Structure 1
Amino acid sequence: MEGTDLESVFQRYLDNEYTEADLSLILEAIVNGDLDKTMTAEVLQRLSFDDSVDNELVDHIADNVEQHLSRTIKPTKVRKLSWISYAAAILFFLGIGLYFYSIRSDRSDTSLQMAQDDDIPPGTDKAILTLEGGNAIDLDGKKGQIITKDGIITYADGESVTETESRQTRYTLSTPRGGQYQAILPDGTKVWLNAESSLSFPPKFSSSDRVVNMSGEIYFEVAHESNRPFKVNMNGQVITVKGTSFNVNAYPGEEVNYTTLITGKVEVLTDKGKLLQLKPGQVLSNDGLRQVIQQANTEETIAWKDGHFLFDKKPLKEVMKQISRWYEVDVEYASDDVYFEVYGGGFSRKADLRTALNVLEVTGDVKFKIVGKKVLVYKK
């Protein structure tokens, strides 16, 4: 089917004016990989709650997906799944990637269903702005990002956060577990803070350079100024740029920190005094002893900024660290052998915790139980 025809069918689906034939075409397009990520996410989201879907049609689509899976994956990995799980699984294994879906209780295989335990909503836009004297301001996530200009901080709608131009020499913007936030710095540089991250910056940058300090994970889009370099201090390293976009992952207590260049040029002065340069699409990993530069999966690296979790052959332990920060939960493992279970795929950061864990259960060999603010991980 031509792309424009498929878009028309998809629009009828969104308008709830579709026929059974339209739905069949859409589901076939998912199976064949003809539907783009956004459309696929929308269909899977809606169908997971749609009781009107014809069972024979569902079975037909599930058969097609099973055949596709059997050609793509080792037979031992193909399980008896519900139709919506099949659609999700094929997205996982074919790398189509970003989607959000829920598994319907009445059409799910009971072996894949989680117990009706507690559930936890996703994180939200929230942060704290700490002034030099220690006073803290809880920022209103509903008002959007903060903007620093001429020494004054405002929300995007113009409402003041700091009353007048103060004598502050440094601000610290920090996000808690379950929080994320955006800001525009005095020079126009845009920053996105992931959960449990902090950024320290002045009300005004000096005439010679622009220096910030950070921890956690932050994505930068640096305003270009050829005569005034932008410097990021973190864990003894100094990243220097003039105008570029890059992501830094440097959480306290983690053995390795990562600097990923998306566009432009970056110089990194390591804590050992070694000067390294990155090209677009490269990532520098530094564990304090070794520094390694290699090609990065940039889509995976910055998916969080765009509202998604995306995992490319990621060990379960690393996946659950991200889950823990975003959903404000602790994770306990029944045994050590599940740490290195590898996952690929993704889901929306707007999904509640049970939905997120359902996605992981579909394609993995572990199961999860939510108890209060804790996630228990078991081998299937």
Structure 2
Amino acid sequence: MEHKTIYELIAEYSNGTLSPAAQEQLRHLIDNDKEARKLFRDIREAEKLLKTIQAQEKLSPQEAWENFSETLTHTRRKNRRLHRIIGTAIAASVALILLFIFPDTRSTYAPEQQVAQTQIEPGSVKAVLSYANGETVNLTSSASSRIVAPDGSTIVNDSLEGLQYNKDNRETGQTAPLHMITVPPGGEYRFTLSDGTRVWINSSSEIQFPSQFSGNTREIYMKGEIYLEVTPDKSRPFIVHSGNDRIRVLGTKFNITAYPEEQKTITTLVSGSVEFEHNNSKIRLSPGEQSIMDHTTDKLEKQKVDVSIYTSWISGAFEYENMPLSYIARQLSRWYDVQFTFEAAEFREHPFTGIVKRNQTLEEVLTIIGKTTNIKFEISGRNIIIKKAEDAANISRLNN
């Protein structure tokens, strides 16, 4: 495996291009090297501050970078908060790595590229942990490396992988209480259950699960969209509940989309085997297959699909193949926390094929879509109006 520097790893992490092997390398450094851990936190904080400067002062990325660079050079002047966060000793390192994270700031922006208004930024890691007694923990701002829940269970708060529920071998004779993780619009989160199963949670979603699995099954409850890598255990099947739908597995990788507004539960299998069940209907899936439960017609079907289209979100991208704009709009509205309005009904079925990165601003994503669909997007606050354009890739802003 290629050995990368901490600077390369952090830059790739921020850009969403970190490979699984490099991710493990970064986590090892953060967990075992105090200087690497400090650098990681400082740079992530500096990255947030740079974006805040751009948004609050309504600057172009180039102007925000110039202001930020000057602040780094003179950390002892007015900005004590920044000096406290970063410190002069690593200011040069922060500036260097942010050049890799924000490459467009290396050259001056042309006037037509500047956007005077605040751009709509992509979602980020956001989640809230709730206990059965009503207590909550904001996982977005929590800096604690270890959390003790009211039921006595201990949870490791990993810097990269989120919560890690450790297996508790104590025999209590009682069923463990349910915990819930809620991800708001414009958020995402991932964590690990006590059996080692890894969970990715998409925007506007929630999942309920026991702090420790007991009995002959492992059962969780979800709304929205999640991706699971289930730890095999032949003696205890893994069961996912979504309303009246059940997905039963032993050990596998699969994606479930079950947003109430979609009126469909879509299960896409990457590997292994799952059985989807709704009332008296059952379908067993093989890798590369997808089940679709239409709750408006009460019809259950399955089909062959390209699984990457339905799982690309966990790798930092949205992948589309002849996908109607109505579906894309709903997906983008959850990630960017915006609303889409179609000027004419026929635009809803307008297809788009392409790949966009989840760390791009909404304006950048809409530009990519507009180039191939002859659709114009008008932005008014957090509402986007979709209409036909004479020239493709048009994006305009309405005066509020």
Structure 1 residues 275-354: aligned runs within 5 Å: 275-288=282-295, 289-354=298-363
Structure 1 residues 99-118: aligned runs within 5 Å: 118=118
Partner secondary structure for residue 120 of structure 1: coil
Pair 1:248–1:353, CA change in 2 (3 A):
same
Match of 1:140 in 2: 140
2:366 pairs, out of 353, 357, 371, with 357
Structure 1 residue 235 displacement after superposition:
2.3
How many pairs does the alignment contain? Answer: 277
Q: Distance in 2 between matches of 1:237 and 1:147?
A: 32
Structure 1 residue 206 displacement after superposition:
0.9
Pair 1:316–1:134, CA change in 2 (3 A):
same
Pair 1:132–1:142, CA change in 2 (3 A):
closer
Q: Distance in 2 between matches of 1:213 and 1:219?
A: 13
Give identity over the alignment, percent: 30
Quick check: 1:183 aligned with 2:180? no
Match of 1:372 in 2: 381
> Does the CA-based 8 Å contact 2:187-2:203 persist in structure 1?
yes
**After superposition, what is the alpha-carbon deviation per residue over 1:12-58, rounded to whole angstroms, capped at 9, x for unaligned?**
xx9xxxxxxxxxxxxxxxxxxxxxxx8xxxxxxxxxx99xxxxxxxx
Q: Distance in 2 between matches of 1:281 and 1:148?
A: 40
Match of 1:45 in 2: none
* Matching residue's letter, 2:221: N
**After superposition, what is the alpha-carbon deviation per residue over 1:53-85, rounded to whole angstroms, capped at 9, x for unaligned?**
xxxxxxxxxxxxxxxxxxxxxxxxxxxxxxxxx
Structure 1 residue 106 displacement after superposition:
5.3
Q: Distance in 1 between matches of 2:245 and 2:122?
A: 32
Q: Distance in 2 between matches of 1:344 and 1:143?
A: 40
Q: Distance in 2 between matches of 1:145 and 1:261?
A: 33
Partner secondary structure for residue 260 of structure 2: coil
Gaps in structure 2 of 5+ consecutive residues: 1-7, 9-16, 18-60, 63-102, 390-400
> Does the CA-based 8 Å contact 2:252-2:271 persist in structure 1?
yes
> Does the CA-based 8 Å contact 1:303-1:309 persist in structure 2?
yes
Pair 1:284–1:161, CA change in 2 (3 A):
closer
> Does the CA-based 8 Å contact 1:217-1:247 persist in structure 2?
yes
Partner secondary structure for residue 261 of structure 2: coil
Match of 2:128 in 1: 128
Structure 1 residue 184 displacement after superposition:
0.1
Q: Distance in 2 between matches of 1:186 and 1:362?
A: 46
Match of 1:258 in 2: 266
Match of 1:17 in 2: none
Structure 1 residue 105 displacement after superposition:
8.1
Q: Distance in 1 between matches of 2:380 and 2:276?
A: 43
> Does the CA-based 8 Å contact 1:210-1:230 persist in structure 2?
yes
> Does the CA-based 8 Å contact 2:162-2:190 persist in structure 1?
no
**After superposition, what is the alpha-carbon deviation per residue over 1:210-235, rounded to whole angstroms, capped at 9, x for unaligned?**
00000100000000101110000002
* Matching residue's letter, 1:256: K
Pair 1:148–1:187, CA change in 2 (3 A):
farther
Pair 1:277–1:154, CA change in 2 (3 A):
same
Query: RMSD in angstroms over aligned alpha carbons?
Result: 3.5
Q: Distance in 2 between matches of 1:363 and 1:159?
A: 38
Structure 1 residues 1-380: aligned runs within 5 Å: 118-140=118-140, 151-157=153-159, 169-270=177-278, 272-288=279-295, 289-380=298-389
